[in-house]
Chains A and B, each alone.
Chain A
């Protein structure tokens, strides 16, 4: 018994899974007793998950959603970095446009969905452009803030050794704020997933969000659950994927992941 307890204590995986497993078991016990149509059992949900998202459903609904996510997110990161560097380098323009940018940043991105639907119509362009818009803003603000407050020691190095142009940006300045940028990229990814689902729920007929909400409205509760599970898995999975890619980047930049700050 003692050995088992010890093994449990030292297994990260077990520690990690203990609470979720407990919750799933509790849910299963409760759902099989309650027999409520709103709460299907774990087996039923798993079956619906495979039916909804496997095979044709994958191509019809998962692929377009993920494509929108990728296009919006990547273009947002690129634009955010580019404009962020430009704004950080031009102090007068930066100070002039910052109030507008702060306003747009304070505007909850999901509130933009009706506006974008009306202007861009229903379809992938709408999802992609809202995601790109929100990610651009978020990355831009973090880039500008990081670069403006960059360590004065590095500024001196750039001056003394006359490091200019792309070398200054890509070899000195951006790597020095890498921890912050990587943190911002992660938060922006979470935001993108949320916007993707919301925009599909409000203004799309296909995609993960649309299938989930439509099945709820047409009383197919196990499909609805499959959608909810899919959204949760996407959130956790993409975050884990991001962390896998972030960790070696941080290590290479010589900064421990703990040094990242939440702002």
Chain B
């Protein structure tokens, strides 16, 4: 019966179990390496990987690579979002124009974000404009579609309310449309942030753009397995931080929509 789930319904118990899970994973990894179950040409031990990562962090070369990755990603993402959000809002307010382009945009969206890479690197070299174009090609459509969708899902009752109280077009937009669109836009931005970070790393791997991805390629060329694991693990942490930050943003946007949140 349903009263048997006591242990897992307590918040602190859950946290405890999660922490135990993480520790168990580390211990299993370490002991698999020590017993030879996990061959050292497949993966270094957990302690070696952690030590490698620990040694990496104070290195100026690593720090500047992280700085390059973060600034290049943030710049590309900001430019893309700065373009896509206003355009999306315009489309949202203009259903006729949207009808014309929406199916095309939907069709363009599944084009893999790597498609322009060979050409873009040829024309632009491996600078910031290159990564920005790559990021824009990867996530512009996602943000645009999500923003437009968000600003069209407003409930007809709310719009009728605005009409009955003779709210002018500007206020109507600011008070009625934007708040109802905010959670959906925030979701789009979260998804786009993750993908654009992946595109940044990808551009570094293939395009030789300075950053963590370039260090990864160098480590691979040197066959330095502990370093590869440490760098890959660090990239994961970076992705986790970005995901958590944008989840927070999404939560703020959802806050004004009651416990159930807005339409998704």
Contacts and interface: CB of A to CB of B under 8 A. Distances in A.
A255 to B, nearest CB: 15
Nearest to B243: A106
B129 interface: no
Contacts of B242: 106
A239 B110 contact: yes
A115 interface: yes
B164 interface: no
Contacts, number: 168
A114 B115 contact: no
A22 to B, nearest CB: 10
Interface residues of A, number: 60
Interface string A55-87: 000000000000000000000000000000000
Given A107-B239, A225-B119, A228-B116, A213 B14 contact: no
A92 B146 CA distance: 36
B118 A227 contact: yes
B205 A202 contact: yes
A198 interface: yes
Contact of A236 (B110, B205, B240): B110
A232 B41 CA distance: 37
Contacts of B101: 19
A232 to B, nearest CB: 5
B206 A95 contact: no
Contacts of B70: none
Interface stretch (A10-18, A168-176, A244-252): A10-18
Contact of B114 (A19, A107, A197, A221): A197
Contact of A198 (B118, B188, B206, B232): B206
A77 B151 CA distance: 34
Interface residues of B, number: 63
Interface string B191-208: 100100110011001100
B249 interface: no
B118 A224 contact: yes
B180 interface: no
A120 to B, nearest CB: 9
Contacts of A96: 17-18, 20-21, 24
B25 to A, nearest CB: 5
Contact of A216 (B41, B107, B122, B243): B122
12 contacts: A38-B122, A97-B21, A97-B25, A98-B18, A106-B239, A106-B240, A106-B243, A119-B41, A119-B42, A225-B119, A232-B111, A262-B191
Given A110-B202, A228-B119, 10 more contacts: A38-B123, A95-B21, A96-B20, A100-B22, A107-B235, A115-B228, A119-B225, A194-B114, A231-B114, A232-B115
